[in-house]
Structure 1
């Protein structure tokens, strides 16, 4: 039996025209019509979660996946990729008695969220969609969501799926450029450099790095911050096609595939077909190398002279910070600054293009950074501060300084890095009876034993003997 291909659309689609002529062109590439399946799912119900769609995908696949020993593949657009990845971690357990997933070709996928997602939950969006907007799905798509961290856990910590297992994850995205200052002022999220109008290139790339920053007192009582690597995914094929938008019949990365398209005249179609032809680990690595070479040709290094090929493009990176206590509890009253050290003092770095605080999980802050602005000869400082809301637990301020050269080991072009910031909570130490203190002891023979304390632990003498 020939390999099967399942197509899965993105959020808010409700017609098979969303696939353009892709199904016809895949037949030209050698896939039989009887082995091509067009997916349909409901995404605008406010109470439907991505997990529900993953479970529904499992039920649908039981009816249509091929028999023992055969392979099947996915081509997804946008949110469809997260549905498949969630299905992989919930349901996919290949063995000798099942067919196996081959290639998962994820086109314009918000692997690490979309700046537009929280706009989609607005009242205006509800009016445009005449009702529900898919609130729960949009929460999962918002920058820095817990769902994205969970999917990254599978890749980084458990190695359950993706480049380290048999399901071969492949990323292709657009990076349209429209230099329209008026539109950018009216709706900057939809006309953002370094994106296809919906998904940032750095958010569409499944290759990622994760770090842990631990902020605590050292043996001398000084607050210090230490950063350590916590895993990475580096070898998944990732391609940027600068001419394509997220959607649309004229420039949409899938929507523009027409009956007149072929692999010679439509780069996105050719990339999808090449990805589906991968059969072995060697094929996969070779595709990753070819894609990386093409991306490198349009990506200037920080501080380098911009080439003609990339003169209209800017290169960005994305970093998601998650603030938690040493007990794993969320910290929601914090501040993060990215500074550059200069002879005249510390200055706010011009690399920060946008900051987003996750609506449902405000302990996560996502920075969108202009990668080209990192100068190798400067030192950059990440400064963290956390408030506790009480004088009984001390606020914390700490920083990490890295050279412009070393910062590239943390932040990479067209990628998202995730940084877990762990801050130890430190009870206030009472140095005098009239100062706040969370817990202390007093000797029973203390002459000033007759006292009481207020809500902040400050003592005052009562003049009454103890019982």
Structure 2
């Protein structure tokens, strides 16, 4: 490898956190002159992740790299969002995006690809007591509110970023040589000791196992009268984008045994370092596929340890094995694009009798609503054994409320019958079984994140009367004595 290698740290950290990894790479014959350790401000309440990305561009262009020089990057935690935001600047298409062409390899170490369950706590006790800036001055006790906003589960920032680089019509991470090859490592254990107070199930202490990889797809549930796509063209009520394909790079999670979010970098596993060094030598998709196959085989025992159930999602004792964990990031909006903030989604499956539909009770779900806009929500799902391999008919049932008596949401389910959607109404039901048959026969894929967009009509209520939000006044009384009607 002869390209410069940039090391980009995470939230509240510094470049010095890479010290042990730095020397581990040197021991693997990576030239010290090629290693460039970045350092950026995250604990400032006025700075966004996009600001940091533009600061990175300034530092690259003025101090480190020539204008068109190729390079590689290793990122930890929030560093993944910084680099992805840098790549996705101004939503430039991949064929015209010089930044994509310059970055040849991107290695994520416990990347916060979809944020962190700790982020919304950061603005309160985590930010002030644990991670807040302790240096006297203008930033004293700042927790980096805008960075944490982008890191929050189901944030608008990560939703929009994914639509730019992961779900766009042209892949930002493709199988050709004009986009970077990407891989992701994450520890299979949460924190221990005092830090364990911050642990959430299914995480390395900070990042969810299901929220670090780049493999994703999007499901659109269009309950409007006439479903149309973003270009105004007709579409089905249920549409699903594919997973990695011939043009889109397969970037799954690789588990590292015995490491948490911090020790993955501070005490790097020798096997992981070996594979980082060999990954940096990949030059084509055949080499990438061969490398990934070997890395997944190496990672398999560590990943197996992630399949130990903790009973209920909020319990911490081991019971039976799982199929894994999955995230669903949901956004509900109306046909005008405005947020639907009060809604509920439930998954139903066909019961043993083959006739009755029942709530999928075996799936433990933790729901987090994005603080700035609750139309965005993240559902963390514990997948019971067998659910990802056994095809089964599925329904999604949706309820919503406008919170006012003069407007209501209106939805059309699989039967195309118009239904009002109010707090006390029956839910609208969408059978997604046919859509699943066209894809892979299951809604559930362990250690991945799936986006779900729900679109509803918002209309005056009641449907069949002219009253409430807009109505016609009765005729004015006739003038008397030719005088004006106004005094």
The reply to whether TM is greater than 0.5 is yes
Match of 1:401 among 431, 443, 451: 431
Instruction: From the superposition, tell whether residues 314 and 126 of structure 1 become closer, same or farther in structure 2 (CA, over 3 Å).
Output: farther
**1:115 offset after TM fit, Å?**
0.7
**1:357 offset after TM fit, Å?**
0.5
For residues 301 and 179 of structure 1, the distance between their equivalents in structure 2, rounded to whole angstroms, comes to 16
- Where do residues 78-227 of structure 1 align in structure 2 (5 Å cutoff)? 78-90=77-89, 100-123=102-125, 125-128=127-130, 129=132, 130=134, 131-153=141-163, 154-159=165-170, 161-163=172-174, 165-176=178-189, 187=197, 190-217=198-225, 226-227=237-238
Deviation per residue, 1:391-410 (Å, 9 max, x gap): 33334231223469868543
Tell whether the 8 Å contact from 1:209 to 1:232 is kept in structure 2 after alignment. Answer: yes
Tell whether the 8 Å contact from 1:65 to 1:72 is kept in structure 2 after alignment. Answer: no
TM-score, scaled to structure 1: 0.78
Match of 1:235 among 232, 250, 274: 250
**1:422 offset after TM fit, Å?**
0.8
In the alignment, structure 1 residue 437 sits paired with structure 2 residue 466: yes
Q: What corresponds to 1:450 in structure 2?
A: none
Match of 1:320 among 313, 329, 333: 329
Q: What corresponds to 1:333 in structure 2?
A: 342
In the alignment, structure 1 residue 364 sits paired with structure 2 residue 376: yes
For residues 206 and 340 of structure 1, the distance between their equivalents in structure 2, rounded to whole angstroms, comes to 28
- Where do residues 258-273 of structure 1 align in structure 2 (5 Å cutoff)? 266-273=270-277
Instruction: From the superposition, tell whether residues 408 and 45 of structure 1 become closer, same or farther in structure 2 (CA, over 3 Å).
Output: farther
- Alignment RMSD: 3.7
288-297 or 167-176, which deviates more: 288-297
Q: What corresponds to 2:315 in structure 1?
A: none
Deviation per residue, 1:67-108 (Å, 9 max, x gap): 477531001100011111111112896669x98221011110
Tell whether the 8 Å contact from 1:237 to 1:289 is kept in structure 2 after alignment. Answer: no
For residues 51 and 301 of structure 1, the distance between their equivalents in structure 2, rounded to whole angstroms, comes to 33
85-94 or 162-171, which deviates more: 85-94
Q: What corresponds to 1:417 in structure 2?
A: 450
**1:289 offset after TM fit, Å?**
3.0
For residues 270 and 169 of structure 1, the distance between their equivalents in structure 2, rounded to whole angstroms, comes to 16
Instruction: From the superposition, tell whether residues 281 and 423 of structure 1 become closer, same or farther in structure 2 (CA, over 3 Å).
Output: same
Match of 1:426 among 451, 459, 467: 459
**1:287 offset after TM fit, Å?**
2.5
Q: What corresponds to 2:365 in structure 1?
A: 353
For residues 298 and 366 of structure 2, the distance between their equivalents in structure 1, rounded to whole angstroms, comes to 27
205-214 or 98-107, which deviates more: 98-107
Tell whether the 8 Å contact from 1:19 to 1:254 is kept in structure 2 after alignment. Answer: yes
Instruction: From the superposition, tell whether residues 109 and 195 of structure 1 become closer, same or farther in structure 2 (CA, over 3 Å).
Output: same
Tell whether the 8 Å contact from 1:72 to 1:99 is kept in structure 2 after alignment. Answer: no
Question: What residue ranges of structure 1 are gaps of 5+ in the alignment?
Answer: 220-224, 258-264, 303-309, 439-454
Tell whether the 8 Å contact from 1:210 to 1:232 is kept in structure 2 after alignment. Answer: no
For residues 465 and 290 of structure 1, the distance between their equivalents in structure 2, rounded to whole angstroms, comes to 89
Instruction: From the superposition, tell whether residues 311 and 66 of structure 1 become closer, same or farther in structure 2 (CA, over 3 Å).
Output: farther
Deviation per residue, 1:141-172 (Å, 9 max, x gap): 11111111122112211436223542222211
For residues 119 and 86 of structure 1, the distance between their equivalents in structure 2, rounded to whole angstroms, comes to 23
Question: What residue ranges of structure 2 are gaps of 5+ in the alignment?
Answer: 135-140, 228-235, 308-318, 410-420, 422-426, 480-484
Q: What corresponds to 1:452 in structure 2?
A: none
**1:50 offset after TM fit, Å?**
0.7
Q: What corresponds to 1:281 in structure 2?
A: 285
Q: What corresponds to 2:314 in structure 1?
A: none
Q: What corresponds to 1:12 in structure 2?
A: 12
Tell whether the 8 Å contact from 2:348 to 2:359 is kept in structure 1 after alignment. Answer: yes
Instruction: From the superposition, tell whether residues 64 and 2 of structure 1 become closer, same or farther in structure 2 (CA, over 3 Å).
Output: farther
- Where do residues 66-77 of structure 1 align in structure 2 (5 Å cutoff)? 66-67=65-66, 70-77=69-76
Q: What corresponds to 1:442 in structure 2?
A: none
Q: What corresponds to 2:33 in structure 1?
A: 34
Tell whether the 8 Å contact from 1:65 to 1:99 is kept in structure 2 after alignment. Answer: no
Instruction: From the superposition, tell whether residues 326 and 463 of structure 1 become closer, same or farther in structure 2 (CA, over 3 Å).
Output: closer
Partner SS for 1:286: helix
Tell whether the 8 Å contact from 1:144 to 1:364 is kept in structure 2 after alignment. Answer: yes
Partner SS for 1:426: strand
For residues 24 and 135 of structure 1, the distance between their equivalents in structure 2, rounded to whole angstroms, comes to 33
Instruction: From the superposition, tell whether residues 95 and 210 of structure 1 become closer, same or farther in structure 2 (CA, over 3 Å).
Output: closer
